Amino acid sequence: MDMDQMMFRKGLMTGERILVTGGGTGLGREMAEGFLSLGAEVHICGRRGGVLQDTADALMEKHGGEVFTHPCDIRVPDVISEMNDLIWDRHGPLTGLVNNAAGNFISRTEDISIRGFDAIANIVFRGTFAMTHDIGKRWIAAGDKGSVLSILTTWVWNGGPFTVPSAMSKAGINVMTQSLAVEWARYGLRLNAIAPGPFPTEGMTKRLAPDADSTDEMAADGSNPMGRIGRMHELVNLAVFLMGPGAEYVNGQTIGIDGAAFNASGGNFAALASWGDEQWEAAARAIKATNAKDRAKRTV
């Protein structure tokens, strides 16, 4: 990320202790870097221990400070609790949680098995709730303040054709954000969400646009009125604004950051209705190969 584009003063997040789920890669890694560079203690979790450690080492080398890694599968509530016990015991209470971990792939919905549906929903819907629930209960029991930021998509507003398990799950987390913002405000907890348009990550290209050479191609088709994809610092500045001190009255909001693609063209994969069997078969093969490669690196 281009650090010159950060909007905030140095040290803004000193004293914050933030867990970013899926913080080893993509947007999670970028947000972790933003928080660290502004003085926060950062914790990242994911299923690939080596990927987490490489990220932590790279970020600490660049910015100093402390990034702690936690191999953890958010689909397993007991594993979430064990990780949070360890964080609370060794480091102290978190002040913030970023629900960023997710899985997704494009498919015709009639081709998805219930197992395939569960593979996504168990991470995005159930896992995100389990993490928020475990950490929320700790904050409430101790009377600590805390902030939760969930990374959604603009599909929570208009549906996600060809990404239905993800769209359904993210929509559920959108409602969780709105509900708990009200229910838990009396405990000093707040919940917000960001709905990004396309940003250049491997997760985006490999499973959502396996036929595109890069996410740039996704903006070149006229669907985005700004004619481009997002830049990492733009997302990170918004995440810092929502998680840092000074924006406490922002609660229960889902904020889009997509160059107005949602307004212009729906910002989803509706255009894939024109694909035929051959394109879907090629996409399924590419996604399967990516899954196998990632699975081989998992340590939990």
Interface with ligand NAP (CB under 6 A): 21-22, 24-28, 45-48, 51, 72-75, 100-104, 123, 127, 151, 153, 196, 198-199, 201-204, 294
Q: Which is nearer to ligand NAP, 39 or 210 (CB)?
A: 210
Q: Which is nearer to ligand NAP, 178 or 291 (CB)?
A: 291
Helix (H) or strand (E) holding 147: strand 146-151
Q: Which is nearer to ligand NAP, 47 or 138 (CB)?
A: 47
In angstroms, rounded to a whole number, what is the distance separating the alpha carbons of residues 51 and 28? 12
Residue of 124, 23, 192 lying closest to 41 (CA atoms): 23
In angstroms, rounded to a whole number, what is the distance separating the alpha carbons of residues 157 and 171? 8
In angstroms, rounded to a whole number, what is the distance separating the alpha carbons of residues 223 and 266? 8
> How near is the Cβ of 49 to ligand NAP at its closest, in Å?
8
DSSP 265: H
> How near is the Cβ of 85 to ligand NAP at its closest, in Å?
17
Helix (H, G, I), strand (E, B) or coil at 9: coil
Q: Which is nearer to ligand NAP, 154 or 251 (CB)?
A: 154
Helix (H, G, I), strand (E, B) or coil at 225: coil
> How near is the Cβ of 48 to ligand NAP at its closest, in Å?
3
Q: Which is nearer to ligand NAP, 10 or 297 (CB)?
A: 297
> How near is the Cβ of 21 to ligand NAP at its closest, in Å?
6
> How near is the Cβ of 278 to ligand NAP at its closest, in Å?
26
DSSP string, 53-120: HHHHHHHHHHH-S-EEEEE--TT-HHHHHHHHHHHHHHT---SEEEE---------GGG--HHHHHHH
> How near is the Cβ of 208 to ligand NAP at its closest, in Å?
8
Q: Which is nearer to ligand NAP, 140 or 237 (CB)?
A: 237
